[in-house]
Amino acid sequence: MTDLRTATPPLTEGTVQTGAQTSAPVPHALQDHDVSAQGVTKSFGKTEIFSDVSFRLVRGEAVALVGANGTGKSTLLRCILGLIPIDRGAVELLGQDVTHAKGAQLRGLRANTGLVAQKHNLVPRLSVLTNVIHGLLGQHSGPRYWSQSFAPEEARVAAMEALEKVGLAHLAARRADRLSGGQSQRVAIARALVSKPRLLIADEPCASLDPSAGEEIMAMFFDLVRSEGVTVVFTSHHIEHALTFGDRVLGLADGHLKLDATAASLAASDLRGLYD
Ligand SMILES: Nc1ncnc2c1ncn2[C@@H]1O[C@H](COP(=O)(O)OP(=O)(O)OP(=O)(O)O)[C@@H](O)[C@H]1O
Ligand SMILES: [Mg+2]
C-alpha cells in the first residue's frame, strides 16, 4: 500500500516570535510534547506486531489512532503507558522516559494519565461511586480508596463531580453490573477523569455501543477533554469519529505507521486505504 504519511504539521503547531525577527514555525523538538515515541518496535514471541513507530503529541492535541483489527493499536497504547516492555526504541511520557522508568516514577507518570480501556473493566459487584473513586488509586494507594464507605470526603466529592459531568450522578449508588453498556462506558470515562489527568488514553471509548449512543458518548467525552485542555489519544474503527474528533490521525497498517496527518487534510477515502 502507499505510504500516506505527510509532512503536515499538527493543527496546534504555532509560531514563535523572536524579538523583532520574523516568526518561524516551532520545530518539534522545541514544543511541549506529552508523548514522544521514537523507533518503537514490539513483538510478541517471534511475531513482530509493528516496527520503527515514531510520532509526537503536542500538549492539548487529540489524536486518533486507526487501523484494522489486530494491527497493534491497543498494543501501542500499552507501550506508551509503559504497561508492557518494548523491544527497541524509546517512549517519553509527560517529558519522562517510560522505557526505563520503574516503581515510583512509573506510578507517578501513570497517576497523571487516565485510561478508558477497550474493555471498561468496572468492578461488577461494587457501586458506580466506588468504581469512580478507584480512578484515584493511581494517586492515593491504600484501602481507604477501595470503597466509597471508607473514602475521604474529598474523594467522594470529586467522584460525584465526575459522575455529574457524564450525566450519571443519579446512579452513584447502583451496582456496576446493573448498568447498560452506554452507562458503563460513561462510568469508565468518569473514572478516567476523576484524577484530572493531563493525558487520556481511550481505547475505543464507544466500542459495543449502538451508533447513536456512540456518537453521543464521543461528543460528551470530547466536550469534557477540550474544556479541560487534556491531551488525548484514542482509537476508533469509525473513520468519521477519527476525522471529527481528532486534530490528527495516526494510521497503523502492515506493521508500520503509514499515516500521520492533520484530520483537516484528510478525507474518509484516505483512511479507507488503511483497511485494504
Ligand atoms: N499479550 C499478548 N500476547 C501475544 N500476542 C498478543 C498479545 N496482545 C496482543 N497480541 C497480538 O498482537 C496483535 C495486535 O493486537 P492489538 O490488540 O494491539 O490489536 P488492535 O489493533 O488493538 O486490534 P482491535 O482493533 O481488534 O482492537 C494481535 O495479533 C494480537 O493477537
Ligand atoms: Mg484494540
Whether 159 shows a pLDDT value over 80: the answer reads: yes
Question: What is residue 275's predicted lDDT score, i.e. its pLDDT?
Answer: 84
Which atom of ligand 1 is least distant from the CA of 237? Answer: 25
pLDDT of residue 26: 45
How many Cβ atoms sit within 10 Å of the Cβ of residue 186? 27
Pocket of ligand 1 (CB under 6 A): 44, 49, 67, 69-75, 118
pLDDT score of 31: 62
What percent of the chain lies above the pLDDT cut of 90?
53
Average pLDDT (245-272) is: 94
**Number of the ligand closest to the Cα of 80:** 1
pLDDT band at 5 (very low <50, low <70, confident <90, very high): very low
**Minimum CA distance residue for ligand 1 atom 14:** 72
pLDDT, position 260: 96
**Chain segment 101-114, per-residue pLDDT in tens:** 888 888 888 888 98
Check: CB of residue 178 under 8 Å from CB of residue 184.
no
Least confident of 29-43, 76-90, 160-174: 29-43
- Alpha-carbon distance of 61 to 246, in angstroms, equals 8
Summarised one tens digit per residue, pLDDT across range 171-190 is: 999 999 999 988 998 999 99
Q: What is the residue-wise DSSP string for the chain?
A: -------PPPTT--EE--TTSPPEEPPGGGS-EEEEEEEEEEEETTEEEEEEEEEEEETT-EEEEE-STTSSHHHHHHHHTTSS--SEEEEEETTEESTT--HHHHHHHHHTEEEE-SS----TTSBHHHHHHGGGTTTS-SGGGT-TTTS-HHHHHHHHHHHHHTT-GGGTTSBGGGS-HHHHHHHHHHHHHTT--SEEEEESTTTTS-HHHHHHHHHHHHHHHHHHT-EEEEE-S-HHHHHHH-SEEEEEETTEEEEEEEGGG--HHHHHGGG-
Residue 138 C-alpha from the chain's centroid: 16
**pLDDT band per the 50, 70, 90 thresholds, residue 227:** confident
Mean pLDDT check: name the lowest of 83-97, 199-213, 260-274.
199-213
Distance of CA 232 from the midpoint of ligand 2 (Å): 16
Average pLDDT, the chain: 85
Mean pLDDT on 130-155 = 83
- Residue 245 has which C-alpha cell? 474528533
Rounded distance from Cα 262 to ligand 2 centre (Å): 22
Residue 247 in this model has a pLDDT that exceeds 70? yes
Region 41-52 average pLDDT: 97
Which ligand 1 atom is at minimum distance from the Cα of 72? 18
pLDDT of residue 163: 95
Give the domain ranges of the chain: 32-112+198-276, 122-196
CA of 74 to the centre of ligand 1 (A): 7
Residue with cell 516503581: 103
What CATH architecture is 32-112+198-276?
A: 3-Layer(aba) Sandwich (3.40)
Q: What is the pLDDT of residue 17?
A: 29
Contacts of 267 (CB under 8 A, 6+ apart): none
CA distance 68 to 184: 25
pLDDT range class, residue 9, cuts 50, 70, 90: very low
Pocket residue to mutate for ligand 1, from 69, 75, 237, most atoms within 8 A of Cβ? 75
d(CA 1, CA 23): 38
Nearest-atom index, ligand 1, CA of 78: 18
The residue whose grid cell reads 505510504 is 3
Best of 66, 73, 204, 233 for a ligand 1 pocket test (most atoms within 8 Å of beta carbon):
73
User: What was the pLDDT predicted at 30?
Assistant: 55
Q: Which ligand is nearest to the CA of 49?
A: 1
What average pLDDT does range 49-78 have in this prediction?
95
What pLDDT is attached to residue 122? 93
Q: How confident is the model at residue 19, as a pLDDT? A: 32
